[in-house]
Amino acid sequence: MINIKIIRENPELVKENIRKKYQEENISLVDKVRRLDEEWRKLKYQEEKLRSERNKISKEINLTKKKKKDASVLIKKAKEIPKKIENSQNKRKKLEEEIELILLKIPNIIHESVPFGKDDSQNVEIKKIGKIRKFTFPVKNHIEIGESLGLLDFDTSAETSGKGFYYLENEIALLNQALIRFAIDKMVSKGFIYIETPLLLRQDVIDKVTSLNDKQNQIYKIEGEDLYLIGTSEHSLIGRYIDTLIEEEKLPIKNTSYSMCFRKEIGAHGIEEKGLFRTHQFNKVEMIVICKPEQSMKFFEEMKNLSVEIYKDLEIPIRILEMCSGDLGELKHKQIDVEAWSPVKKEYYEVGSCSNLTEAQARKLKIRTLKKNGEKYVPHTLNNTVIATSRAIVAILENNQQKDGSIKIPKVLWKYMSGKRVIKKIK
């Protein structure tokens, strides 16, 4: 949520930012907020005047009584003031609620380096990393590979659970666990604190960590209870700090977590008939950072480089894609996606996303930082996918397939696979 001070002090900057995001229909919201905010400030000023008047009358009443004169008129006047203050506060509270709803629709100020563009077709490739392998035989997709090895089962899961679920067996199930252990060890070695989080959150937290659109299209609700399944452990990692005052010396906070994730996947992409790429349930290791404002771009680069390092370790060809202004989420200041190469489709596909949300998310969650001198400010937050194992498995199966149908396991995962280096069909 954008800081209202920016709208007060530089409304044209906010309007220009909205234009850069191709949301001209929302430009009028800036002036609307300014009008409501002006009304809010007038009410606040009136309340301060009323309190001052109450104090003044209280002194006059005391003086009048000391002089043993009639103070009934002053007392009557003093009794009327609290009601006037209460009425003003109620009006101001309604204004605050209206202003907050509008502020949620106004996008965060984007970083100066973000390329201009209307939608994802205008995202910009920063660089490619890793060598794309040339195959001397017809390549198979991960579904064909997994089913031919007898280690992926989509048919039974369709019967037991419906589309968007799967059974992993033997070496591919072990590969899934190996990726989780590898990712956690990598993050801990980089100074991130590993945390096991709840998989269910209350609505007041979900509303603060997701957009209304994501809540409707992605988040599962538990019927009859005020609980929702998380779509990523980022929700519970950052949600843990809701309405919290963090001492500045505790920054930066660097947390990582593994969790199962659950998503309805309603919308443009939907669920695939079969496969691991877009599913209702998957495994993911996530990272978040809460830091001082002046440090957030440094951590953004650090987190981005961690994603690159992970896929270099896995020997998967990737590219880094920068999101253009029109493709950035409302809370995003800057975002890059990591995409892995598909030798089947001959194109790259998303395997991770790294975002700097500056103070927008922390402001929405009412997270603040306390300095030693007693001053308070809103810290910056960032999040990044360490690894979504199902998509990493797709990349490993397709890029590491051999002519005989076997799959080479990346060397960095051998120690997590009980020494196994190849996945073969068991006769």
Q: What's the DSSP call for residue 326?
A: G
Q: What is the CATH number of the domain that holds 144?
A: 3.30.930.10
Q: Do both 223 and 303 map to the same domain?
A: yes
Q: Do both 83 and 193 map to the same domain?
A: no
Is pLDDT of 324 > 80?
yes
Q: Which of 103, 148, 142 shows the shortest CA–CA distance to 1?
A: 103
Cis peptide before 115 (omega within 30 of 0): no
Give the whole-angstrom CA distance, residue 273 versus residue 155: 10
Is pLDDT of 242 > 90?
yes
Banded model confidence at residue 67, pLDDT cuts 50, 70, 90: confident
Q: Do both 150 and 199 map to the same domain?
A: yes
Q: Which value, in Å, is the radius of gyration of the alpha carbons in the chain?
A: 27
Q: Do both 219 and 346 map to the same domain?
A: yes
Q: Do both 125 and 79 map to the same domain?
A: no
Average pLDDT over residues 209-221: 84
Is pLDDT of 318 > 80?
yes
Residue-wise pLDDT for 80-107, tens only, equals: 898 999 999 999 999 999 999 999 899 9
Give the whole-angstrom CA distance, residue 242 versus residue 366: 6
> pLDDT value at position 114?
96
- Residue 426 tokens, joined: 């068991």
- Residue 32 tokens, joined: 């609307």
- Asked which of 71, 103, 135 is the last residue of a domain, the reply is 103
* DSSP-assigned states of every residue in 150-165: T-EESHHHHHHT-TT-
> pLDDT value at position 427?
67
> pLDDT value at position 267?
63
Q: Do both 99 and 225 map to the same domain?
A: no
Q: Do both 93 and 194 map to the same domain?
A: no
Is pLDDT of 394 > 90?
yes
Give the whole-angstrom CA distance, residue 182 versus residue 203: 33
Residue 115 counted as domain residue: no
Could you tell me if 322 and 114 are in contact, meaning their C-beta atoms sit under 8 angstroms apart?
A: yes
Phi, psi of 339 (to 5 degrees): -125, 135
Least confident of 177-181, 277-281, 295-299: 277-281
Residue-wise pLDDT for 280-309, tens only, equals: 999 999 999 999 999 999 999 999 999 999
> pLDDT value at position 268?
61
The proportion of the chain whose per-residue pLDDT surpasses 70, expressed as a percent, equals 99
Q: Domain range holding 268?
A: 120-423
> pLDDT value at position 279?
93
Give the whole-angstrom CA distance, residue 424 versus residue 427: 9
Is pLDDT of 270 > 80?
no
- Asked which of 57, 76, 103 is the last residue of a domain, the reply is 103
Q: Where are the alpha helices (DSSP H) in 137-201?
A: 142-148, 155-160, 170-189
Banded model confidence at residue 70, pLDDT cuts 50, 70, 90: confident
- Residue 270 tokens, joined: 């939907």
**99 φ/ψ sector (left φ>0, alpha ψ -120 to 50, else beta):** alpha
